[in-house]
Structure 1
Amino acid sequence: MSNELNDPSARRRWFQRFKLFKWFNCCSRRLSELVGRVDIPGRLGGAMIHTRICELLGITHPIVLGGMGTATSAPLVAAVSNSGGLGTLGTSSFRPDQLESEVSAIRGRTDKPFGINHLLFLTQDEMFRVTLRARPAVVAFAWPRLDQDLREYFSRAHDAGAKVMYMAGEVPLAVRGAEAGADIIVAQGTEAGGHVGWMASMPLVPMIVRAVAPLPVLAAGGIADGRGLVAALALGADGVLLGTRFMATPEAPIHPNMKQAIVDSDGHDTVLTEIPDIATGRVWPGAMARAQRNKFIERWAGREWALRQGAREAGEAALEARRAGDVNNAPLYFGQDAGLIDSIKSPGEIIQTMVKEAEAIITGPLQRLVTA
C-alpha cells in the first residue's frame, strides 16, 4: 500500500473511498437512530422506525397523507390514521357545512389523530373557523400569498390545540413558515402531483432540513415505497408525506378510471403546465401543476392564448369529463412516482409494506455496505 500512496492518482482513489465510507457510515448512524426501538411495543405498536414526527403527532409510523383537495375523504383519512399514519383532509372543494359533515364522518371512523389542510390563498375565515372548532391534531397549510400573515393563522391553530404543518417547495418559503411558528415543515419536490415548485426532492429536502433546523421535516414528491422512505430519512427528513400513492386506494374519492390511470402510468407521462389553471381561472401563487400529458393537455399545449379566450367553456367541459371518469379530456393530477405504483391497495397495506421494505433496506443492504 505504501507504494500505492506514493502515486497521486492512487491517493485520490483511496481518499474518495474514505469519503464514501464516511458518508455511508454517517447515513448508517442516522438510520440506526430510527430503527430498532421495539422495546416499548405497547406504545409504538411494534414499529421499528420511530422518529420525532411520531412523537410529535402521536402516530406509529412517520407517514402522512397529503391533504389533496379533491382526492381525500373521511374514509381515506380515517383509514390512514387507523393504520398508524396521519390522515389529512383537504378543504379546497368543500363549503363550511360540508367540511363540518366530513370531520364528523372522520370522527365516526377513528379516534386517532388526523389533520385538516388549507390552501392559504383560497382560505376564507368561515372555513378556517370550522377547522378550529373541529380541533384536529394538525392544521396543515400551503401556498400562501405574499401579503398573508402566516403568524396569525399559525397562532390561531396553536390556540385551538393543533400542531402546525406547513408545506414549501423552496427554501425561502420554508424559512418563512418556520419563522412564523410552524411545528413541521413539508419539503415538497417537483416530482409530486398537483401544484408544485421547481426543485427536485433530492437537493430540496436536505437544503430545507438545514435551513429550518431543528424543526422536523417531512419529505414529499416522488415517494411511493419503502425505498423512498429510507431515502427521505437519509436526507435528514423525519418522515414522508404521500399523495399519489394514496390516490390509488379503494378509499380515495376519485373515479376508478383515474385510479387506473395512475396504475397504468410509467412515470414519464406527466408534465408541468399552467393549462388546468387557465381552464379553471384559479391562479396559484408561484406554482405550476404536474398533470398527466393526455388529450386535454395536448389540445391546448402551445395554444394557451386561445384557451384564455374560452376558459369558461373549456373549464366546464373538463369538470364534466372528470366527473364522468373521462381520463383523456380532464386534467389528471398525479406525480412521477406513479411509475412505481402497479396496483390499487388499501392504505393499511401501503403503510405496512412501506415500513417493512424500509426496515429491510436499513438492516440489510445499507448495513452490509458499511460493514463490508
Structure 2
Amino acid sequence: MTDRREAPLHTPLCDLLGCDQPVLLAGMGGVSRWELAAAVTNAGGYGMLGMVRESPDLITREVTAMQAATGRPFAVNLIPAATEPLLLDEQIACCLDLGVTAFCFFWDVMPDVVARVKRAGCLVLHQVGTVEAARLAEKAGADVIIAQGVEAGGHVHGRYPAFALAEQILAQTGLPVVVSGGIATGKGLAAALAIGASGVQCGTAFLATEESFAHPYHKSRIVEASGDDTILTDAFVLNWPKGAAVRVIANSVTDGLDGTYLGHDPDKLPRETIAHDDDQPRLRFSTDSPLRTTTGNLEAMALYAGQGAGDILEIVPAATRLTDIIAQARHILKGTPHNDITSPS
C-alpha cells in the first residue's frame, strides 16, 4: 500500500474518510458487494457497499463480511427516496447496530434521514445531480458532496456534465466535492484535482473487475462498448419512481424504443419475467442488472455503463484498476501544468 507521506494525490478528503487515495467506489446496488468494496478499500481507495433496497439480513451478511475483510473505514450506500419507509428504517437501524460509521445517500435529499445518522455520529456523503440538491444536502448536514454528471452509468439524477456541475458546486460550498460520471482513468482524477475537487467516484471502472458481483456477461459488454454505445433512458424504470433515468449499454430493449428513450410511464409497461435470481423473478424494463446469480435473458436486462466505458479494455482485479488510475493521475500532475489539464471528453 502506498505510504500516504509519499502520495501526492492524498487530499484532505482522504483524512476525513480514512483512505489513502481520493478514489471512491460507487455504491452500485447489487454490484458493490463486500468482495469489491474490500478490494478497493484495501488497495487504498474508499469502498462502499451498495445496499439499495436490500434486506437487513443481506446487509448484516455483507457488512459483517466487509468488517472481516478490512479494518479500514467504508460506507453503506442507500437511496431513501426509492426505498419503502419501513424497510429504510430497518436498513438504517441494522447498519447502526453493526457499527457502520458512514452512509452515502442519493436521489432526493431527505433531511430527516441525514439527521438521524448524523445524530449517531456517522459521516454522510450525498450524491447529487444539481446545484440546488447540493445546497439542500449541505443544509441537511452532509459532510461530502458527490457531483454526479449525466455521463454516469446507472441511475442519473441530473442532466449536467460532471465537471461543469462540480465547478458550480465548488463555487458555493466549502465541503469536499467529489466528481462522478464517465471517469475511468487517471486523466479524470487529475482533471478533478486540477479544478479543486477533492477526488473522484468510479462505478463502471470497478464494475468491470474480477471482484465485482456483476455477471460476467455484463462485464464483457462493458469491455466491448464505447461511450457512444450508452443511452440515457427511463424505460428501465420498474421498481423506481416515474422518470428515473438510467445510462445503459444499448440492447434489444432500447432498440425497440424507436428513439423514444425518455417519457415512459412504469404503470403502462408490461410485467414480463425474463430472468431469475434464485427464485426471484426479474422483469423486462426493471432496474435490475444481471448479477453473478442471475440466469435467463441477460441481454435484455439493464446493462449499466457510463460514458467512460470506452476506456475499459479488460477485466482486471480492482486493486490493479485503482493502481493504474493513481499512477496515470500522478504522472499527469507531475508532468503537466494544471491549466493544461482538461476534463475528459
The normalised TM-score by structure 1 is: 0.80
Structure 1 counterpart SS, 2:300:
coil
Spell out the pairing of 1:1-372 with structure 2 (5 A cutoff).
44=4, 46-123=6-83, 124-144=88-108, 148=110, 150=111, 152-196=112-156, 197-212=158-173, 214-277=174-237, 280-283=238-241, 287-301=244-258, 302=260, 308-313=267-272, 316-318=282-284, 322=290, 323-324=294-295, 326-366=297-337
CA distance, structure 1, for counterparts of residue 269 and residue 108 of structure 2? 28
Structure 1 counterpart SS, 2:105:
strand
Letter in 2 for 1:172: E
- CA 1:111–1:365 in 2, change beyond 3 Å: closer, same or farther? same
Q: Deviations over 1:241-286 (max 9, x none)?
A: 1111000011111110100100100111111111100xx24216x6
Q: What is the number of equivalent residue pairs in this alignment?
A: 321
Q: Deviations over 1:287-326 (max 9, x none)?
A: 4111111112222444977985452126744379932374
Deviation of 1:87 (Å): 0.5
CA distance, structure 1, for counterparts of residue 183 and residue 338 of structure 2? 22
Identity level (%):
35
Deviation of 1:111 (Å): 0.6
Letter in 2 for 1:221: G
Tell me, yes or no, if the aligned pair for 1:258 and 1:325 is still in contact at 8 Å.
no
Structure 2 counterpart SS, 1:324:
strand
Tell me, yes or no, if the aligned pair for 2:205 and 2:312 is still in contact at 8 Å.
yes
Higher helix proportion (structure 1 or 2): 1
Q: Which segments of 5 or more consecutive residues in structure 1 lack a partner in the other structure?
A: 1-40
- CA 1:190–1:306 in 2, change beyond 3 Å: closer, same or farther? closer
Deviation of 1:159 (Å): 2.8
Letter in 2 for 1:361: I
Tell me, yes or no, if the aligned pair for 1:307 and 1:314 is still in contact at 8 Å.
no
Deviation of 1:335 (Å): 0.4
CA distance, structure 1, for counterparts of residue 136 and residue 93 of structure 2? 23
Tell me, yes or no, if the aligned pair for 1:168 and 1:174 is still in contact at 8 Å.
yes
Match of 1:6 in 2: none
CA distance, structure 1, for counterparts of residue 308 and residue 339 of structure 2? 27
CA distance, structure 2, for counterparts of residue 143 and residue 324 of structure 1? 29
Letter in 2 for 1:203: A
Deviation of 1:206 (Å): 0.5
Structure 2 counterpart SS, 1:135:
coil
Structure 2 counterpart SS, 1:334:
coil
CA RMSD of aligned residues (A): 2.4
- CA 1:58–1:306 in 2, change beyond 3 Å: closer, same or farther? closer
CA distance, structure 1, for counterparts of residue 249 and residue 58 of structure 2? 29
Q: Deviations over 1:152-204 (max 9, x none)?
A: 22222223332110010110000100111110000000000011121111211
CA distance, structure 2, for counterparts of residue 233 and residue 64 of structure 1? 14
Tell me, yes or no, if the aligned pair for 1:195 and 1:289 is still in contact at 8 Å.
yes
Tell me, yes or no, if the aligned pair for 1:193 and 1:291 is still in contact at 8 Å.
yes
Tell me, yes or no, if the aligned pair for 1:64 and 1:242 is still in contact at 8 Å.
yes
Deviation of 1:369 (Å): 6.2
Q: Which segments of 5 or more consecutive residues in structure 2 lack a partner in the other structure?
A: 275-281
Q: Deviations over 1:66-125 (max 9, x none)?
A: 111121111011111101111001112521111011100101111111100110113421
Match of 1:14 in 2: none
